[in-house]
Chains A and B, each alone.
Chain A
Amino acid sequence: MLKVNHLKTYFLILLLLTNGMIFYTVSAEKTNNLLKVSFLDIGQGDAIFIESPIGNQFLIDAGPGKSILNALGRVMPIYDKTIDAVLATHPDADHIGGIPEILRNYTVSKYIYNGAMGTTGVFRELEDEVHRLNIKTDIVRTGDVIDLGGGVYLKILYPDINPKGTDTNKYSIVAKLYYGNSTFLFTGDAPTDVENYLVRNIGKELDSDVLKVAHHGSKNSLSNQFFSAVSPDYSIISAGKDNRYGHPHKEIVESLNNITSNILGTYDLGDIYFISDGQTLIRN
């Protein structure tokens, strides 16, 4: 008799849990026509998670290591183990270090990169995994447009040539995200030369609401012209707390200060979330 009662209790608990799970799923799936862009705090590196209004998930960079998995745990519901596409701006470990782990633990439909060949162990591992899992790859160039669904587009602004040589930053992908009136500019590790080149060629098009400051706020990506051309409302610096490179550099913060007061660092704030309905953009 006692045992039967126990069974009933367990069954009840199980039903309750299932119920909770359903509510959780429903609330997690509610999309509200919102674009969500999250600059994830993964230490010294970049990782930007984008979710379009129809729920497509897109990741720009995932460095430097396994910490990206924790970060994804924070922005994705627990049952969701798929990502629509991962874009690697360039093959440095602080940008691609976590991608092999993502490919292993999530179902990724597409891998997008600039065609550059890295020489590091992690790059080879990434290539092997892409191969082994038969993931579709795309090499992108200036002018390519990626449709994220729900009216969200990612336009590639750079590179316009095939990467060569050992300077990986030089060919780092620069891309701009559009959703109605809201725009984001992602710069990877683009150096000053590239920034100036972009100002000369497509100056007007650079103007964005949110700028991911290039190269974690390093001195090598300091172009005042570029900052004025972008004239961001928010500047995001993705860097680790007390990192050994001294990022972000004082000069960068100072010149950004002349343009916008909203300089946000993942090293201070942790994850930084934005949402937009296409009209207004707010930091969440």
Chain B
Amino acid sequence: MKNDFNLFLSIAGFVSAIFLCSFMKIGITFSLFLIFLSLILFLYVKLITTDEESRKIIFLIIITMISFSAGIIRYEIKDSASFDLNLENNIDQKVVISGIISDEIRNNERQAILVVDFANITLASTSMAVFGRGIVSTDLYPEYKYGDLIKISGKLEKPENFSNIGEGTTITSDPSQIKSQFGGASFDYISYLAKDDIFYKIDFAKTELISEGHGNFVKSFLFKIKDSFINNLNKIISEPESSLLSGILLGAKSSIDKNTTEIFRKAGLSHIIALSGYNITIVSDAIMKVFAFLPRNGGFILGIFGIIFFVLMTGASSTAVRAGVMALIVILAKSTRRNYQAGRALIIAGLMMVIVNPKILVFDISFQLSFLATIAIIYVAPVLKSRFTYITDKFGLRDIISSTISAQILVLPLILNKMGLLSLVALPANIFVLTLIPMTMFFGFITGVFSFIWFPLSLPLAWVSWILLAYIIIVSEFFASLPFSSVNIPWFSSSIMIACYFVITFWIIKENAKIKSN
């Protein structure tokens, strides 16, 4: 127990340092100062004091300070990405840059959005190697793919933050999907891009293919499968249902039109089309429920396969991997029925992810959603389940509903803060929609698989998927169209959000203590 407390303290120190660094510049000097201070304290404990009590306390202080400074150092290393002068000196200039497309391409209705690792810049007819990553918007055609080396001509700029984008505002200058998804409140776009080391943008660029196949072999392969999967779905299922399916099933970033996105936002359902552990957790959970009749480990193994498959299908992006790990922990918790260990696994996994990329802690809403949804299913769902005795346990319905609601409770403050929009219909809308998500994904998935085998075979399945998808859209439209379905709450600041989470944490600890004592 004592070791646990020390571990918890050092994690808390590390994470809070990264949290603070995300908002203010602390600097490595401060962390060196802390280390120096701990050294002095250490010497004091060793050489001077003899009082056992004060020794203990000082030791705890030392642990906290050391982990805190470790957090600062980690963040500073990530943040100190060196800027290439050849790029920095040409900001707001027309440039010709060549680079490799380093991520899956997103299309919106009008443009293709590419993430490009710059390789060369042509200045006054001399070509120079450059280092940097930028987000490039260009015409939809010709179509590029991951790993293409392209020539880009356009104005090199730094991304800008945007604020208070209300409903109906057209966003043309900066065509990122995230904007339409989280468009309610002001949004720290610079940091959002910086977490993926994107520091530049070129809008409305003219582009030209130089050569193909410079990407990672495995990734290219996965994206290729994903693309043909989505293409097949598009052929069998009409729009907007097919885009919705690609969004739910594969976190496909393209194609869901603005209207539909807005409807989901109002109905409090945006998360179903954003790639996060939220979806996958619910799905893996459902897989286990449905196959619970299999001998002891059957459902568990199928659940794990489901997750691995999902992660691969989405192209194994870091977001998807993180979501997958969270979902694995949920499965672990469910099958072992040992919340204590699952909770520890979750904290360690979360810590690892933050160590790998400290910027996700504050700037990656997908990570935050995944983490919270996982906590919800491990700690909150059992509490609710014990109270929902009036809901039938058939088809695992009670489980699914308590998972859904608990996830809702935990992500609500975050969503309120990020989107500045309180969907008053979110809870019923989520219950009506989320309970059918696993089935929708299942049918959507086998529709896609069968379409590869023999097209006509997939048609009946496509109709079933279509009915489910159309149902989701109709329900969302209905809830979004209700008067007062959503209210703007620009005042829901980060401090209110944090206060909410303190209250929720307190409630979780209290309720779980109760369960334990029973």
In the complex, the answer to whether A69 meets B141 with C-beta atoms within 8 Å is no
Binds A, one of B151-159, B188-196, B237-245: B237-245
Residue A283 at the B interface, CB < 8 A?
Answer: no
Residue in B110, B172, B460, B467 whose beta carbon sits within 8 Å of that of A65 in the complex:
B110
Binds B, one of A46-54, A71-79, A206-214, A220-228: A71-79
Residue B234 at the A interface, CB < 8 A?
Answer: yes
Residue A232 at the B interface, CB < 8 A?
Answer: no
* Chain A residues within an 8 Å CB radius of B170: 242
Given A17-B467, A73-B240, A105-B235, is A120 in contact with B139 using a C-beta cutoff of 8 Å?
A: yes
- Interfacial residues of chain B within 36-73, with CB under 8 A of chain A in the complex: none
Residue B336 at the A interface, CB < 8 A?
Answer: no
Residue A217 at the B interface, CB < 8 A?
Answer: no
- In angstroms, Cα B109 to Cα A244, docked, is 16
Binds B, one of A31-39, A121-129, A146-154, A190-198: A121-129
In the complex, the answer to whether A73 meets B109 with C-beta atoms within 8 Å is no
Given A17-B463, A65-B109, is A70 in contact with B143 using a C-beta cutoff of 8 Å?
A: no
The residue of chain B having its C-beta at the shortest distance from the C-beta of A240 within the complex is: B170
* Chain A residues within an 8 Å CB radius of B142: 121, 124-125
Residue A104 at the B interface, CB < 8 A?
Answer: yes
- In angstroms, Cα B240 to Cα A120, docked, is 27
Given A17-B463, A125-B141, A244-B172, is A78 in contact with B109 using a C-beta cutoff of 8 Å?
A: no
* Chain B residues within an 8 Å CB radius of A17: 463-464, 467
- Interfacial residues of chain A within 110-144, with CB under 8 A of chain B in the complex: 120-122, 124-125
Given A17-B467, A79-B463, is A104 in contact with B231 using a C-beta cutoff of 8 Å?
A: yes
- Interfacial residues of chain A within 67-99, with CB under 8 A of chain B in the complex: 67, 69-70, 72-73, 76, 78-79, 81, 97
Residue A43 at the B interface, CB < 8 A?
Answer: yes
In the complex, the answer to whether B234 meets A104 with C-beta atoms within 8 Å is yes
Given A17-B464, A67-B257, is A121 in contact with B239 using a C-beta cutoff of 8 Å?
A: no
- In angstroms, Cα B237 to Cα A78, docked, is 7
Residue B445 at the A interface, CB < 8 A?
Answer: no
Residue A28 at the B interface, CB < 8 A?
Answer: no
- In angstroms, Cα B464 to Cα A4, docked, is 22
- In angstroms, Cα B459 to Cα A79, docked, is 8
Residue B187 at the A interface, CB < 8 A?
Answer: no
- In angstroms, Cα B243 to Cα A67, docked, is 11
* Chain A residues within an 8 Å CB radius of B172: 244
- In angstroms, Cα B460 to Cα A157, docked, is 44
- In angstroms, Cα B232 to Cα A81, docked, is 12
Residue A159 at the B interface, CB < 8 A?
Answer: no
The residue of chain A having its C-beta at the shortest distance from the C-beta of B459 within the complex is: A79
In the complex, the answer to whether A122 meets B139 with C-beta atoms within 8 Å is yes
Looking at the assembled complex, report how far the CB atom of B264 sits from the nearest CB atom of chain A, in whole angstroms: 15
In the complex, the answer to whether B255 meets A66 with C-beta atoms within 8 Å is yes
Looking at the assembled complex, report how far the CB atom of A2 sits from the nearest CB atom of chain B, in whole angstroms: 9
Residue A21 at the B interface, CB < 8 A?
Answer: yes
Residue A188 at the B interface, CB < 8 A?
Answer: no
Residue A100 at the B interface, CB < 8 A?
Answer: yes
Residue A64 at the B interface, CB < 8 A?
Answer: yes
In the complex, the answer to whether B238 meets A97 with C-beta atoms within 8 Å is no
In the complex, the answer to whether A78 meets B238 with C-beta atoms within 8 Å is yes
- Interfacial residues of chain B within 292-327, with CB under 8 A of chain A in the complex: 293
Residue in A64, A73, A122 whose beta carbon sits within 8 Å of that of B238 in the complex:
A73
Interface centre among A3, A21, A73, A100 (most CB of B within 10 A): A73
- Interfacial residues of chain B within 138-195, with CB under 8 A of chain A in the complex: 139-143, 170, 172
* Chain A residues within an 8 Å CB radius of B464: 17
Looking at the assembled complex, report how far the CB atom of B143 sits from the nearest CB atom of chain A, in whole angstroms: 7
Looking at the assembled complex, report how far the CB atom of B440 sits from the nearest CB atom of chain A, in whole angstroms: 14
* Chain A residues within an 8 Å CB radius of B466: 78
* Chain B residues within an 8 Å CB radius of A242: 170
Looking at the assembled complex, report how far the CB atom of A208 sits from the nearest CB atom of chain B, in whole angstroms: 31
In the complex, the answer to whether A64 meets B141 with C-beta atoms within 8 Å is no
Looking at the assembled complex, report how far the CB atom of A268 sits from the nearest CB atom of chain B, in whole angstroms: 14
Residue in B231, B237, B239, B459 whose beta carbon sits within 8 Å of that of A70 in the complex:
B239
- In angstroms, Cα B139 to Cα A81, docked, is 27
Interface size range of chain B in the complex: 20 to 34
- In angstroms, Cα B172 to Cα A242, docked, is 12
Interface of A is mostly: helix
* Chain B residues within an 8 Å CB radius of A69: 234, 238-240
In the complex, the answer to whether A122 meets B234 with C-beta atoms within 8 Å is no
Interface centre among A76, A81, A104 (most CB of B within 10 A): A81
In the complex, the answer to whether B140 meets A121 with C-beta atoms within 8 Å is yes
- In angstroms, Cα B231 to Cα A104, docked, is 8
The residue of chain B having its C-beta at the shortest distance from the C-beta of A100 within the complex is: B141
In the complex, the answer to whether A122 meets B239 with C-beta atoms within 8 Å is no
* Chain A residues within an 8 Å CB radius of B240: 69-70, 73
Residue in B140, B234, B239, B293 whose beta carbon sits within 8 Å of that of A97 in the complex:
B140
- In angstroms, Cα B361 to Cα A92, docked, is 45
Given A70-B257, A73-B238, A73-B241, is A78 in contact with B463 using a C-beta cutoff of 8 Å?
A: yes
* Chain B residues within an 8 Å CB radius of A120: 139, 141
Residue in A18, A43, A64, A105 whose beta carbon sits within 8 Å of that of B234 in the complex:
A105
In the complex, the answer to whether B234 meets A72 with C-beta atoms within 8 Å is no
Given A65-B109, A65-B110, A73-B241, is A121 in contact with B141 using a C-beta cutoff of 8 Å?
A: yes
* Chain A residues within an 8 Å CB radius of B460: 18
Residue B98 at the A interface, CB < 8 A?
Answer: no
- In angstroms, Cα B212 to Cα A233, docked, is 55
- In angstroms, Cα B254 to Cα A65, docked, is 13
Residue B107 at the A interface, CB < 8 A?
Answer: yes
- Interfacial residues of chain B within 387-445, with CB under 8 A of chain A in the complex: none
In the complex, the answer to whether A43 meets B109 with C-beta atoms within 8 Å is yes
- In angstroms, Cα B172 to Cα A43, docked, is 13
* Chain B residues within an 8 Å CB radius of A65: 109-110, 140
The residue of chain B having its C-beta at the shortest distance from the C-beta of A126 within the complex is: B141
* Chain A residues within an 8 Å CB radius of B140: 65, 97, 121-122
The residue of chain B having its C-beta at the shortest distance from the C-beta of A244 within the complex is: B172
- In angstroms, Cα B255 to Cα A104, docked, is 15
- In angstroms, Cα B255 to Cα A224, docked, is 41
The residue of chain A having its C-beta at the shortest distance from the C-beta of B233 within the complex is: A105
Looking at the assembled complex, report how far the CB atom of B359 sits from the nearest CB atom of chain A, in whole angstroms: 32
* Chain A residues within an 8 Å CB radius of B236: 81
In the complex, the answer to whether B255 meets A121 with C-beta atoms within 8 Å is no
Looking at the assembled complex, report how far the CB atom of A269 sits from the nearest CB atom of chain B, in whole angstroms: 15
* Chain B residues within an 8 Å CB radius of A124: 141-142
- In angstroms, Cα B241 to Cα A9, docked, is 27
* Chain A residues within an 8 Å CB radius of B463: 17, 21, 78-79
In the A-B complex, the 10 residue pairs with the closest CB atoms: A69-B239, A121-B141, A125-B141, A73-B238, A70-B239, A73-B239, A122-B141, A65-B109, A121-B139, A70-B240
Known interface pairs A81-B235, A242-B170; 11 further A-B residue pairs with C-beta atoms within 8 A, sorted by A's residue number: A3-B293, A21-B463, A64-B109, A72-B238, A79-B459, A81-B236, A104-B234, A121-B139, A122-B139, A122-B140, A125-B143
List 9 contacting pairs A-B, 8 Å CB cutoff, sorted by A.
A3-B293, A67-B257, A69-B234, A78-B241, A78-B466, A105-B234, A121-B139, A124-B141, A242-B170
